[in-house]
Amino acid sequence: MFAVERYRRAESVADAVRLLAEDPFSIPIAGGTDILVKLREGHRQYANLVDVHGLAELESIILDTDGTLCVGAGATFTQVMESPLVREHAPVLAEGASWVAGPQIRNVGTIGGNICNGSVCADSVPPLLVLDAELELAGPEGLRRTPLRGFHTGPGIVARGQAEVLTKVLVPAPPRGAFAAASLKYAMRRAMDITTIGCAASVLLDGESIVWLKLAFSVAAPTPVRCPSAEAAASGKPLTAQTVEAVKKTVEVDVAPRTSWRAPADFRMHIIRELSERAMRTAVQRAGGGIR
């Protein structure tokens, strides 16, 4: 049923890197919820597997002394959603994880697999983009850190070396002050459906004005994107309906939705504008502000 040609179980992250480096055609498998679907469809590039599932090194979720939340790449969506540390320090990530599929997939699918899969639909990515998350990868040359923003380089493509294993997702400590974030998903069905458009926003407020807005989308361009033009239209501006309108108008510059069987481009654009407003309003409200 599954066309696996070679399967090796890694004993540790270092062992996984060694096994991957030994065989340039091999790839890591974690939960397998993406890979097994590809294998059943007969994609041969997923046939040589190095299993990193269940490595304790990859599963921990801890808070560093500097306030950075370190989420192991092998943490499942359920572990992310249920983690008291995630809920306290990055609730928008728990919210994003809750949008993924149903309980069975969330019990098995990992956050690392969601990022490394490179899918433009990945529900964990917009919330992590508005939190300015970084990634830690282990490879033959040792550990490296890289921003999540820019890690997706094309449809289904990420800047991961063939022998690299994603070890951690690093979420910096939230800024002091009136800060909050929100993650929304538009899909045809409310449950068990791939995202038509996903959106996340984070805001820092100062009284009646927005210090900054961060806005990110999935499925709005060939890769998940941040929206620098829409963000500039809000940052430093008052909390008014005019500012919201400016964001909704400007977001067009940052995205490039396409037509697919799921939705035509103009409909996606409508949803993008609508979600920018809803995500922004929700984040503002959670930060204790209100839009006049």
Site residues (vs ligand FAD, CB under 6 A): 27-35, 37, 52, 73, 100-101, 105, 109-110, 112-114, 116-117, 121-123, 160, 165-166, 194
Least distance (Å) between residue 76 CB and ligand FAD:
8
Least distance (Å) between residue 167 CB and ligand FAD:
7
Q: Rounded distance, CA 263 to CA 129, Å? A: 24
Angle between helix 241-250 and 265-286 (nearest 10): 140
Least distance (Å) between residue 21 CB and ligand FAD:
13
Least distance (Å) between residue 133 CB and ligand FAD:
15
Q: Rounded distance, CA 47 to CA 36, Å? A: 10
Q: Which residue is nearest to ligand FAD (CB)?
A: 113
Least distance (Å) between residue 238 CB and ligand FAD:
35
Phi-psi region of 117 (alpha: psi -120 to 50; beta: other; left: phi over 0): alpha
Closest by Cα among 119, 93, 115 to 223: 119
Burial profile 57-86: b = 16 or more Cβ within 10 angstroms, e = fewer = bbbebeeeeeebbbbbbbbbbbbbbebebb
Pair 74, 168: CB distance under 8 Å: no
Least distance (Å) between residue 281 CB and ligand FAD:
24
CB nearer ligand FAD, residue 193 or residue 274 = 193
CB nearer ligand FAD, residue 196 or residue 250 = 196
CB nearer ligand FAD, residue 147 or residue 290 = 147
CB nearer ligand FAD, residue 53 or residue 89 = 53
Least distance (Å) between residue 103 CB and ligand FAD:
11
Q: Rounded distance, CA 103 to CA 168, Å? A: 23
Q: Rounded distance, CA 163 to CA 245, Å? A: 46
User: What residues contact 179, with CB distance under 8 A and at least 6 apart?
Assistant: 202, 203, 204, 205, 287
CB nearer ligand FAD, residue 126 or residue 174 = 126
CB nearer ligand FAD, residue 196 or residue 243 = 196
How far does Cα 69 stand from its chain's mean position?
Answer: 15
CB nearer ligand FAD, residue 50 or residue 201 = 50
Q: Rounded distance, CA 151 to CA 159, Å? A: 5
